[in-house]
Amino acid sequence: MKFTILRTKSDLEHWSNQGQGQELHFVPTMGCLHQGHKELIKAAKNFSEEQPSKVLVSIFVNPLQFGEGEDFKKYPRNLEKDCQTALEAGANAIWAPSLETIFPNGQENYFTIQAPYALKQSLCGANRRNHFDGVATIVLRLLNLVNPSHLFLGEKDWQQLVIIKQLIQELGLKVEVKSIATVRDKDGLAYSSRNEYLTIEERAKIITLSKLLLQESSQFQSDKTIDLNKLRSALENNGLRVEYLETVDYKSLAPVNYYESKLCLLAAAVHCGKTRLIDHIFLMNRKPIIAIDGPAGAGKSTVTKRFAKQLGLIYLDTGAMYRAVTWFLQEQKIDADNEKELIKALTNLKIDINLKDSGIQQVLLNGKDISKEIRSPRVTQEVSRIASKATVRQKLTAQQKLIGLKGGIVAEGRDIGSTVFPDAEIKIFLTASSKERAKRRANDLANQGFRVPNLKELESQIQERDKMDSAREIAPLKKAKDAKEIVTDGMTIEEVIETLTKIFREEIPEEVWPSN
């Protein structure tokens, strides 16, 4: 498709109607495109391999988001250069509407949006009073006119991103937001159109903002403390005027103490000469934890394993640990109902789970590889009974908590979200009808060379296990209050992973845990 510059509403409509069946990925900007915008455009272009799509970049210096005395008039404008940049990055068209195109009947005849007070009272909103109302009003108009499937926004403007996401959610707009991590120059300075204003001397000064924030971020990862007063003085000593330097909750944007928050935003706005720039880092107390619970045969293992690999997180299969104990007790002919014997048997039991590069999981019990043995129907039949024993659960839960101490884990089981990691950032309850699960179990057994019972028999075995898992007194199988349920009937593995990825991204910014 050739590159096009669109001006009017009918230009836009005509262009949108070409290439039926294509998704429209939209990157709204105010122009003066830089590397940050380029990454947004690239992400939009590469978003879906299977689905044909086209990328539209809008350039509109929105007067509504500038306050009195701000830089609306001198905001850098260079359409020709922007077209070149957008084209290079992979855009299919630029839309450069006038104010009249956005508001054909005159601005005064259109609704204006008021961003929620709670979201605009802190950070930039505290001093730029109507800024986010202006942003929200224009973004809504742009979305109405463009009607894209996906909207690409930078995490650099975190407060704007939070507000636009809520606007879309509250109004039930059918557009999905994709956010891209802040893009930085080699020296660490976050790309911004307003960097254009800086003289060489000012740029040398302002670099302290990013440098100190990035230093603070790596320092925080090791000692979990920050010193805001020291940071503020360091900025001021470098000739910068600090407008704000705050820690806020990364979702509600309400002020928080960093040590009381699992994930917060440390954000700053500084003035250097006449230029005002913003930057931020995220402070996360530990790496993310994802808890995936659900009944047998819901497809947990396959998706959890793949999802962990995709995100570079550790995969923890707690079911395999219960299977290992079951196998061990069967081998040693230990009566699990005899508490004394059970305690003794568990005392020196060491279970290690390794995930090889090939994706194959290795389960070691006191150093012996029992990966295949634990999948036998004999173990399957007894594992729920063994897993209902308090002694067994205590031992394995303690071990699992230890593995997850530093986070960075995707754990699957029955009680992960409710008991093992109740503070997991993401809780999923993965389930499917017993009929569907029986079909999957039959496939698994056949693939592993075991005898395959008929489907009816498998279904009733599954229902029996569900009953035992859900009815046991300790840590029963149940959906955690804050878990999101995914019913996987009729879904491919890829579709389940895609759903998980979406849920993950709603919680965890790209900057905190990049997609790849």
Q: Which stretches of the chain bind ligand PAF, using CB under 6 A?
A: 28-30, 62, 65, 135, 138-139, 157, 160
Strand, coil or helix: 4 = strand
Q: Which is nearer to ligand PAF, 27 or 336 (CB)?
A: 27
Q: Which is nearer to ligand PAF, 139 or 290 (CB)?
A: 139
Choice among 14, 25, 34, 37 that is catalytic:
37
CA–CA distance, 442 with 438 (Å, rounded to integer): 6
Q: Which is nearer to ligand PAF, 122 or 380 (CB)?
A: 122
CA–CA distance, 375 with 393 (Å, rounded to integer): 20
Strand, coil or helix: 152 = strand
Minimum Å gap between C-beta 263 and ligand PAF is 23
Q: Which is nearer to ligand PAF, 154 or 295 (CB)?
A: 154
Whether 37 is catalytic: yes
CA–CA distance, 137 with 151 (Å, rounded to integer): 16
CA–CA distance, 497 with 33 (Å, rounded to integer): 33
Tokens of 57: 């970049």
Minimum Å gap between C-beta 157 and ligand PAF is 5
Q: Which is nearer to ligand PAF, 143 or 430 (CB)?
A: 143
Residues whose CB is less than 8 angstroms from the CB of residue 491 and which lie 6 or more positions away in sequence, other chains included: 499
On the CB side of 257, CA atoms within 13 Å amount to: 3
Measured in whole angstroms, the distance separating CA 415 from the mean position of its chain's CA atoms is 23
Rg (CA), the chain: 27
State how far the alpha carbon of 5 is from the alpha carbons of 29, 83, 84, 167, in Å: 15, 8, 11, 28
Minimum Å gap between C-beta 8 and ligand PAF is 19
On the CB side of 274, CA atoms within 13 Å amount to: 8
CA–CA distance, 154 with 179 (Å, rounded to integer): 5
Minimum Å gap between C-beta 166 and ligand PAF is 14
Q: Catalytic residue numbers? A: 37
